[in-house]
Amino acid sequence: MKFFVDTADVDEIRELADTGLLDGVTTNPSLIMKSGRDIMEVTKEICGLTDGPVSAEVTAMDYDGMMKEAAVLAEIADNVCIKLPLTMDGLKACKALTSAGHQTNVTLCFSATQALMAAKAGATFISPFIGRLDDMGIDGMELIEDIRTIYDNYGYDTQILAASIRTVNHVKDSAIAGADVATIPPSTLKALVKHPLTDKGLDAFMADWAKTGQSIG
Ligand code: G3P
């Protein structure tokens, strides 16, 4: 499973990229707002921190506007992935951009039929929003499972990018359901490695090691 980090905070991205475990980055207009940075400037900086895809979202609502913005965003770096909303204009832009050789991420997916449409439009990634469905009392994970089944039924190679992830269990359940990628907030990504028994076991090993008086090397 690939891990993307869902943030426009360059310090967080740099720290995670340094681990060698980061496969890409996703941003959206809310995350750009939160960063307080200029979209062009911060996206360029992020693209320099990872070789993986960096999703940058268009903000126009119409096809022509999306295509103009996509051309500007695509100029930033080779690893920019154009993020488009799941609307008919967004899908039309997705089809055109994918055909022109760009990576695309269709976002704000809340149903299996929307995901089917995105695959037909040739999306590189589809972003089903798990957490926001859970917030409404709808099981977001069922959506991941349904999309996996549909894509496998027809051999679509659009990658399922589990988004709106809020918990470590969201990552685990997305992996079990067969999502190709999870885009994860920095705090949740760091929490994936944590277990109290690991900490407790390590403390015990280190205490015993100190008693030996040895050192390695
Ligand atoms: O990047 C899109 C998605 O991950 C947003 O998540 O927490 O705002 O629902 P959230």
Distance CA 115, CA 34 (A): 28
Q: Ligand 1 — pocket residues by CB below 6 A? A: 6, 26, 28, 129, 131-132, 163-164, 183
Give the Cβ contact number of residue 6 at 10 Å: 22
Ordered per-residue pLDDT tens for the chain, 217 residues: 999 999 999 999 999 999 999 999 999 999 999 999 999 999 999 999 999 999 999 999 999 999 999 999 999 999 999 999 999 999 999 999 999 999 999 999 999 999 999 999 999 999 999 999 999 999 999 999 999 999 999 999 999 999 999 999 999 999 999 999 999 999 999 999 999 999 999 999 999 999 999 999 9
Q: Which domain holds residue 175?
A: 2-212
Q: What is the DSSP letter of 167?
A: S
Total domain count, the chain: 1
Distance CA 155, CA 174 (A): 19
CATH code at position 96: 3.20.20.70
The amino acid occupying position 184 is: I
Distance 128 CA to ligand 1 centre (A): 10
Q: Whose CA is nearest to atom 10 of ligand 1?
A: 164
pTM more than 0.85: yes
- Mode of pairing for the β-strands spanning 103-109 and 54-57: unpaired
Q: Which residue among 2, 68, 83, 120 is the active-site one?
A: 83
On whether residue 217 sits in a domain, the answer given is no
Run of H or E including 57: strand 54-57
**Residue 57 forms beta bridges with which residues?**
83
On whether residue 7 sits in a domain, the answer given is yes
In terms of Cβ atoms closer than 10 Å to its own Cβ (0-12, 13-18, 19+), residue 63 is: middle
CB distance 23 to 4 below 8 Å = yes
